Amino acid sequence: MKDTEGYVTADGRQIGGVLMEMRDITLKFGGVVAINDISFDIREGEIRAIIGPNGAGKSSMLNIISGFYTPSVGEVWYKGSKRPPMKPYEVARQGVARTFQNIALFEGMTVLDNVMTGRLTHMHAGVFSQALWWGKARDEEMENREKVEKVIDFLEIQAIRKTPVGRLPYGLKKRVELARALAAEPSILLLDEPMAGMNVEEKEDMSRFILDVNDEFGTTIALIEHDMGVVMDLSDRVVVMDYGKKIGDGTPDEVRNNQDVIDAYLGVPH
């Protein structure tokens, strides 16, 4: 597959060229090699899963993509050019939104305010016009409110708009976190175990939302997930990691039949 060429998925969706590419990424923490020379790409419009046993380095990979970690070796390419070292907030402003494995919300703020922070990447009015509630700042606030209300409707959390996030149950928090990321209208959405700790019904809801987001807005999604069933249902292509190495990459079917992957998941000793 060429970088600029797309492909058609099993369910007939057209996937575009390469949006994000990880080239020869290695990440070390002192003596620990969390990621060992991994390359893969994420294409426009696809749902790309990263799977692997605990400690495989999945979250670390997501942290590199979102700028929270800087790789020891390797390059990140985004929208066709090599990305210089960047702070997380700069990456966010380039259209990369994310959620966290251990939910990172603003607990003291309402659901609405949390989702509104998702619009910060689209802020143009200066501090002073905001302080004085001047023309441009005011228009922007209105526009942000409209977009945020749409996201809130989309994820069906209207009923809790004014509730402080700290009071919500776990499953809803996960959904609010997704809402905040979506409000940024990202080019790529990174989800670190969006369904961890959920019951079956909540998982079904979340799966549906992820598919709908991809379908309605064409958002490219990279997600980490442990539940194999979910991964196979949702994703177009899967990267499999184990002990920091990439041991498989392909469609769910290809990956499922890959002997290394089967071994890793059955816990065959290395």
Partner 1 sequence: MLADIFINPFVDMFAAPDFLMQVLWEGLVSGILYALIALGFVLIFRSSRIFNFAQGIMVVFAALTLVGLHAYGVPAWISVALTLGVMFVLALTIERVVLRPLVGQPDIILFMATIGITLFLIGFGETIFGGENKVMISSELGIPTGDTVMEPFGGLLILQHLDITVVIVATLLVLALLAFLNYTQMGRAIRALGDDHQAALSVGISLQTIWVLVWFIAGIIALVTGIAWGARAGVSFALEVIAYKALPVLMLGGLESITGAIVGGLMIGMLEKLFEIYWGQPLLGGNTETWFAFVLALIVLLFRPQGLFGEKIIERV
Residues that bind ligand ATP (CB under 6 A): 29, 32, 34, 52, 54-60, 101
Measured CA to CA, the distance from residue 116 to residue 144 in angstroms comes to: 7
CA-wise closest residue to 237 among 95, 44, 56: 44
Measured CA to CA, the distance from residue 158 to residue 109 in angstroms comes to: 16
Q: Which CB atom, from 36 or from 163, has the smaller least distance to ligand ATP?
A: 36
Single out the residue of 7, 13, 74, 113 in contact with partner 1 (rule: CB under 8 A): 113
Tell me: does residue 99 bind Mg ion (CB under 5 A): no
- Residue 118 has what DSSP assignment? G
Q: What are phi and psi of 90, to 5 degrees?
A: -70, -40
Which range, of 9-17, 78-86, 107-115, 221-229, touches partner 1 by CB under 8 A?
107-115
Q: Which CB atom, from 94 or from 101, has the smaller least distance to ligand ATP?
A: 101
Tell me which residue has tokens 């080019």: 187
Single out the residue of 20, 22, 59, 223 in contact with Mg ion (rule: CB under 5 A): 59
The answer to whether residues 77 and 20 touch, using CB atoms and an 8 Å cutoff, is yes
Measured CA to CA, the distance from residue 192 to residue 253 in angstroms comes to: 22
- Answer with the entry of partner 1, Mg ion, ligand ATP, none that 71 interacts with (C-beta below 5 to 8 A by kind): none
Q: What is the dihedral of CA 209, 206, 233, 194, to 10 degrees?
A: 120
Amino acid identity of residue 64, one-letter, is I
Tell me: does residue 30 bind partner 1 (CB under 8 A): no
Q: Which CB atom, from 83 or from 246, has the smaller least distance to partner 1?
A: 83
H-helix or E-strand spanning residue 51: strand 47-51
Shortest Å, Cβ 131 to partner 1: 6
Q: Which CB atom, from 94 or from 258, has the smaller least distance to partner 1?
A: 94
Q: Which two tokens stand for residue 24?
A: 């020869």
- Residue 142 has what DSSP assignment? H
Q: Which CB atom, from 52 or from 252, has the smaller least distance to ligand ATP?
A: 52
Tell me: does residue 119 bind partner 1 (CB under 8 A): yes
By CB under 8 A, name the binding residues for partner 1: 66, 68, 87-89, 92-93, 97-98, 100, 102, 104-109, 113, 116-121, 123, 125, 127, 130-131, 133, 137, 140-141, 144, 166, 180-181, 184
